Structure 1
């Protein structure tokens, strides 16, 4: 009986030893797989994070450069011939240009200074005249734009030499007030102070790096200012520059014992690139801590297994394993929810099949004025102004066509519509395919675009079309009339003795007279007629589908209304004034509006010399 017991004990010990060895080997294998899997997950997360940060940085800098283009283009449209020829244009005009530059500079926070240059790159006017605000523009840097009139803008590096001047970027726009003639340049500077603000808002970690690189692979700005142990990959930047690669490119490098995940992307249609690099000392810090915990936990489990009986080992191991998995899943879900709840982008998740919303974060809930619980009973296309927009985007995503930063009209729960930048993608998970939508509200940006467009096309005093916009619209109408053989007439209106009004009652009264003429033109003419202020007291009106006899009646009616109008100025005095009108029809050989303006101006000259307050016509050369 005792021998049997010993034999049983020996067999039990052998089985226990074998099971213990197998358990130890299995535990070591599981730990190694878990550590390797978590390592790969952290590396992939770092690559995705670098890619996302590069996309965010490209969007911010691209948007900033586009805003600069809009402001500078708007500035160019408000300049007059000769404004860039000399720094001494008289005290009044110099003050006007200084005010104009300061107004444009105040519209966009990333600009440090704004200046005007003559065709020879001589500084004539600038918004700020403070130490360190100089724009060192050199004539030879403009040769490429000077020799190629189709290049409207170019960039130059601001090297920051001279002590007070910060390094950065110079943006130069070509100015052609007179078509086909170089009138000068508009220069704007963005220093590293703005780039430092943008880079400083990125979650780069302690050893992360963000850079702005030009097409010559020179570093314009970086954060931190002098990063140690990092150089951008020249081959990747050259491939992006030459078009051999597109989109965001992520590269892994190892220098001085540090592995880096670096994302590169070109900024829109500019010659600049962003590079965002994350250090393994940052993105693997959590992995190192978790690995230590895994090893300590494995050692404890092995020690417990050696002290426990064989018959309780399987149940104990299974229970421990299940609890460990549950904790990791809960922690992972908690981290995921915390990440998407705190992200500054509105996120919406839905099922691609029936389009029901499965989740929205707090930002999306606030953006659409929609409680999160209520959103779960809605379909995602109900957030769109037009359901077809959603269906078209979903079809593109299903065909592997990316939808990124697309401008879309969306709708809040109260019916209010707004503009948003929308990105859409399909993600595969354990629960199946999920449609992921990211949205940024750009309503203010669209309002700014609309305001800049209005300022670029509208005369500030009269509210009518300015000269450039009038010429552009009139040329389109002229082409249409010539193509279909339709009649068209142009009239020019000039206030009689306008200088007397200014001299007798002041310039405010003159401005009031101009506004009164604009109001009378709008109320007398049709909505289809194009009315513009050409400058000073001179106006023009283009009358499509209007033959000469009818145009003469309209012009006479307008002249009579101006003569009968009484203008009451703030002093209580009543001013009455008249206007002379010159009118001319469209000729078959007219291809631009300029010949009509010349003929109408001659007719206006005849009206002035015939005694004013009358309508004179300049007959077509084809009419006997």
Structure 2
């Protein structure tokens, strides 16, 4: 008899048995539905949080850009007012009273003063002096009869004795297509009467220049408005809209009125592109900066993420159903797996398993001796050392500054937890890296312990450093900008009041720099400024503060340096530039010189700006002595004795 083959086929239930499957697995399917709803809720929560984070990043970008633009405009306008104050302080009212009859030599000296100051203000087109009778106006180029607008400003100052500064509404500049405004400052006579006026014509094209320099996402919008919602400047440019009120300006005014800054998502009325807009008011001038960052620049990735989550959720549901179906088909194996009883694990075993499987860096630290008890792989990777080398090491030994551990322990003892504490950990090479540390008090093996969670925040700290550099450094030369220089200098001045330390300050101005811009172009001028700043910086100490005040005017603060040291450094800087031609990118070598004014004294109760003004007066003397010279401020009594 032939032998029969052993029967090894397993009968698989056909899909016609679906009702039986649903009946047998109804409990599991119900739990899967609940789990699916829970997972859907978690995904929705994650997408919502991600959306909020993306919106926050977009808002932060717009706010940072608007802050940078506002600070630079505020600085430029304040610089204009400081120059007006300086000119008003240097021109005698009696000289202005006889402006129409001044000898040519005196007129030339006044015009040179105006030209020197005008060269430091890239945002100003014209600088002029007005006689108190309103008849004569002196510019760096000519003396002529004052126009009606100048006479009107002079009359306003005469009618308002307490008013020191007047600013006109934006208008088309004389002979130009750009918008601008006129700033007039009173020059007071000794008897308090109006002794004349110094006038600056500010070109708002300077706004577009600043906007172009900012690093913004594509299709970002920058606007400058006055308090009546008139569009004064816009980048990218919209020539047809300049000088006109914003569409729906009443709604916009209701948003900005009564606020110094704000953020709102809306569509720009000219291109209907959705952007997150941040506005800020200038502190001393009647203008509002408005910066819009397009939503698409930030939310395209979020939309891709949301689509990926939805697809993954759908595939997971289908996979879950398929696996349940297969489990039912292999009922005996599934039943055997479900009926195999597993002993309960101790709480510590569960904790160790969780530490080992979680991807977040985690440490378990004994509270009594501060020693690390357990390290998961992610924490070992973050610390750059094998886990077995970290076990038994004191947690404070991982810090770059171990003394900070006492503060962390104190907070854990008082509040039982600590969240996102920023601290530097030590690298294996001795360097440091930033970590966000969170911890809570738990019980492990019947003893108090700390469950410590770590995450790397180096990228965020680097971004903060980048934003700080943008706010404090001159973007062209890489040295301190005017605002940061004056702030640091004032701090150094106040510090020197507490200690017997002398201070020296040098002001440097490139000779004939305007001719470089006129003959070779502004790109060549920028190269000259960068080369000059690098050349000077090589000669300075780490404790010296080097800053660009504006245009081709620079300043150096020399703390704890005696008079001889200041004089030696000034002459060394002057000689280095005179002996070292500046080579442009096109190979052209330019021979340049610098005029330097210096001042030094032990600090008194006055402000630092007094010492800076003395150095400026010395610089003015160096210019008029023929340039390529160093001059120092001499008190009036010293000049009399000489």
Give the TM-score range, shorter chain.
0.5 to 0.7
CA distance 1:422–1:468, shift in 2 (3 Å):
same
Further displaced range: 412-421 or 492-501: 412-421
CA distance 1:422–1:191, shift in 2 (3 Å):
same
Q: Deviations over 1:125-151 (max 9, x none)?
A: 24699xxxx998812322222xxxxx5
Match of 2:254 among 123, 135, 140: 140
Residue 175 of structure 1 contacts residue 186 of structure 1 at CA under 8 Å; is this kept in 2?
no
User: How do 1:27-38 residues align onto structure 2 when only pairs under 5 Å count?
Assistant: none
Q: Deviations over 1:87-140 (max 9, x none)?
A: 946898566334234x1347xxxxx845233242445324699xxxx9988123
Shift of 1:448: 1.8
> What is the aligned partner in structure 1 of residue 408 from structure 2?
393
> What is the aligned partner in structure 1 of residue 289 from structure 2?
185
> What is the aligned partner in structure 1 of residue 212 from structure 2?
99
Residue 385 of structure 1 contacts residue 409 of structure 1 at CA under 8 Å; is this kept in 2?
yes
CA distance 1:560–1:424, shift in 2 (3 Å):
same
Further displaced range: 47-56 or 334-343: 47-56
CA distance 1:94–1:513, shift in 2 (3 Å):
same
Shift of 1:421: 1.3
Gaps in structure 2 of 5+ consecutive residues: 1-37, 78-122, 125-168, 172-176, 180-202, 239-245, 311-316, 325-334
- Counterpart CA distance in 2 for 1:191 and 1:184 is 22
- Counterpart CA distance in 2 for 1:505 and 1:448 is 37
Shift of 1:442: 1.2
Shift of 1:400: 1.5
CA distance 1:491–1:183, shift in 2 (3 Å):
farther
- Counterpart CA distance in 2 for 1:416 and 1:163 is 50
- CA-atom RMSD in angstroms: 5.4
**Secondary structure in 2 matching 1:350:** strand
Q: Deviations over 1:68-89 (max 9, x none)?
A: 5445434434444369978946
Residue 85 of structure 1 contacts residue 183 of structure 1 at CA under 8 Å; is this kept in 2?
no
> What is the aligned partner in structure 2 of residue 498 from structure 1?
513
- Counterpart CA distance in 1 for 2:585 and 2:393 is 59
Q: Deviations over 1:455-487 (max 9, x none)?
A: 322223333222111111122223334455654
Residue 493 of structure 2 contacts residue 603 of structure 2 at CA under 8 Å; is this kept in 1?
no
The TM-score, its normalising length taken from structure 2, stands at 0.57
Q: Deviations over 1:554-583 (max 9, x none)?
A: 433432333222334455554322222223
Match of 2:263 among 144, 155, 161: 155
Residue 501 of structure 2 contacts residue 602 of structure 2 at CA under 8 Å; is this kept in 1?
no
Further displaced range: 87-96 or 64-73: 87-96
Residue 364 of structure 2 contacts residue 372 of structure 2 at CA under 8 Å; is this kept in 1?
yes
Total equivalences in the alignment:
462
Gaps in structure 1 of 5+ consecutive residues: 1-43, 107-111, 146-150, 207-281, 290-299, 301-319
Corresponding position: 1:173 with 2:173: no
> What is the aligned partner in structure 2 of residue 73 from structure 1?
67
Corresponding position: 1:118 with 2:225: yes
**Secondary structure in 1 matching 2:459:** helix
Residue 97 of structure 1 contacts residue 125 of structure 1 at CA under 8 Å; is this kept in 2?
no
> What is the aligned partner in structure 1 of residue 357 from structure 2?
341
CA distance 1:76–1:136, shift in 2 (3 Å):
farther
- Counterpart CA distance in 1 for 2:365 and 2:46 is 21
Further displaced range: 388-397 or 53-62: 53-62
Corresponding position: 1:479 with 2:593: no
Q: Deviations over 1:302-325 (max 9, x none)?
A: xxxxxxxxxxxxxxxxxx99x646
Match of 1:450 among 465, 472, 484: 465
- Counterpart CA distance in 2 for 1:418 and 1:397 is 23
CA distance 1:406–1:192, shift in 2 (3 Å):
farther
Shift of 1:441: 0.8
Match of 1:463 among 469, 478, 492: 478
- Counterpart CA distance in 2 for 1:339 and 1:196 is 35
- Counterpart CA distance in 1 for 2:41 and 2:448 is 22
Shift of 1:520: 4.0
User: How do 1:185-584 residues align onto structure 2 when only pairs under 5 Å count?
Assistant: 185-189=289-293, 191=295, 324=341, 326=343, 329=345, 337=353, 341=357, 343=359, 345-372=360-387, 375-376=390-391, 378-400=393-415, 402-413=417-428, 415-428=430-443, 432-482=447-497, 484=499, 486-546=501-561, 551-584=566-599
- Counterpart CA distance in 1 for 2:273 and 2:593 is 56
Q: Deviations over 1:181-219 (max 9, x none)?
A: 45432434575995796699799x99xxxxxxxxxxxxx
**Secondary structure in 1 matching 2:216:** helix
**Secondary structure in 2 matching 1:600:** helix
- Counterpart CA distance in 1 for 2:373 and 2:346 is 19
Q: Deviations over 1:470-520 (max 9, x none)?
A: 111122223334455654333221122223334455545434433343244
Q: Deviations over 1:376-431 (max 9, x none)?
A: 45444443323333343123112226421111111345655311111111134676
> What is the aligned partner in structure 1 of residue 141 from structure 2?
none
Q: Deviations over 1:524-554 (max 9, x none)?
A: 4443332212222221222334565664454
